[in-house]
Amino acid sequence: MGYGIIGTGSYLPPTIVTNDVLAERTGVTPGWIEERTGVRERRYCTSEQATSDLAGEAARRALEAAGLPAELLDFVVLGTSTPDFPQPATATVVQAAIGADRAAAFDVNSVCTSFVYALDTARGLLSADPQARYALVIGADVYSRQLNFDDHRSAVLFGDGAGAVVLGPVEDGYGMLTSRLLSDGRLRELVKVPGGGSRSPLTPASMMAGEHFFTMRGRAVRDYVVTVVPELLCSLLKEHDLTIEDIDLVVPHQANAVLLRRCFAEAGVSLDKLHLTCPLYGNTAAASIPVTLDDVVSDRGIERGSLVVMLGIGGGMSAGASLHRWPGASGGFQ
């Protein structure tokens, strides 16, 4: 018996922020934003919403799709780099909100790769515990509250959102087949929020210096992406004697539509197999893969037996990918 995705769900907050709005705020033109990022609009939270609110709504929708009551969950694993607060884990807030009373709940932070790491962790926990059957895996982030709008190159990319999947038992040979996780801490300075931790606690002086803002060295990150993505994809497929042509669907982290199309085309992936949601939602960080997966499921479905790759790149630097044979087991899946 394997473990696979038996339900998906997502939630995007209601406030739509167009390129016209951000152009005025960042001092660039709407055309400049779309030409360089492929993003046309993104969603921002309301002032009353936090990461756990988005995550909880996506979780409820995934559970409904799976036809599974929250009381049967064994694990709630939340991938995020924008928790509600430093402690406790935001997953525990979600656990209480959805009534998953018997589940162990914890957070995973690998920045934009957090969902892929969380998914692999949940699969490992289920496989190791003969009494466990179901895990809820969520990716959720609220980046709008840590963007520096004086930095137009990064501020125009990000939006807020949450996506979730339910992992459960599936027929042998289906579900999550394999995964690859990578980290390179030598490159940790490329993507960061420098203030707010034990090394540099937030003070009035550090906030005046902007240490609470997200920073990214865009050119170096791009170089990392174009180098790592083809290598990671080939490594993932090699274990199962597969080629790029065997893959039916690629669900990537939605970093930048222009970069993604270029990178996967160079890796030999036909662009009709690449599903993108960043033109409408921007880069929703840890949420982007499960949000995009749910978009595919809701829009056209995924046929049973299809080979699906989910692949993310994030700060750390980190990278991760997983290969799935779609189970089509429940939740109205084909």
Q: Is residue 330 pLDDT above 50, yes or no?
A: no
Phi, psi for 2 (deg, rounded to 5): -110, -175
d(CA 311, CA 308): 10
Annotated active-site residue 109? The verdict is no
- The enclosing domain of 249 has a CATH number of 3.40.47.10
Active-site residue identified among 253, 263, 278, 324 = 253
218-270 pLDDT, tens digit per residue, is 889 889 988 899 899 989 998 889 999 999 999 999 999 999 998 898 888 89
Residues 158, 163, 164, CA angle at the centre, nearest 5°?
Answer: 155
Q: Is residue 332 pLDDT above 70, yes or no?
A: no
Annotated active-site residue 253? The verdict is yes
- Helix (H) / strand (E) containing 35: helix 30-37
- Helix (H) / strand (E) containing 291: helix 288-299
Phi, psi for 6 (deg, rounded to 5): -115, 5
Structural domain count, the chain: 1
At 193 the three-state DSSP class reads coil
Per-residue confidence (pLDDT) for residue 219, from 0 to 100: 87
User: Which single residue is written with the structure tokens 């044979």?
Assistant: 325
User: Which single residue is written with the structure tokens 């699969």?
Assistant: 123
Residues 207, 42, 108, CA angle at the centre, nearest 5°?
Answer: 60
Q: Is residue 329 pLDDT above 70, yes or no?
A: no
Per-residue confidence (pLDDT) for residue 153, from 0 to 100: 87
282-320 pLDDT, tens digit per residue, is 999 999 999 999 999 999 999 999 999 999 999 999 999
Of residues 255, 254, 221, 241, the one with CA closest to residue 323: 241
26-55 pLDDT, tens digit per residue, is 999 999 999 999 999 999 999 999 999 999
d(CA 279, CA 250): 16
Of 33-37, 271-275, 328-332, minimum mean pLDDT range = 328-332
104-129 pLDDT, tens digit per residue, is 999 999 999 999 999 999 999 999 99
Task: Name the residue range of residue 61's domain.
Answer: 1-334
Q: Which residue has the higher pLDDT, 215 or 292?
A: 292
**Termini Cα distance of the chain:** 20
Of residues 77, 79, 24, 70, the one with CA closest to residue 51: 79
Active-site residue identified among 19, 109, 256, 283 = 283
Active-site residue identified among 45, 112, 263, 278 = 112
Per-residue confidence (pLDDT) for residue 214, from 0 to 100: 87
Annotated active-site residue 256? The verdict is no
Per-residue confidence (pLDDT) for residue 328, from 0 to 100: 76
141-189 pLDDT, tens digit per residue, is 999 999 999 998 899 999 999 999 999 999 999 999 999 999 999 999 9
Per-residue confidence (pLDDT) for residue 296, from 0 to 100: 97
Per-residue confidence (pLDDT) for residue 209, from 0 to 100: 85
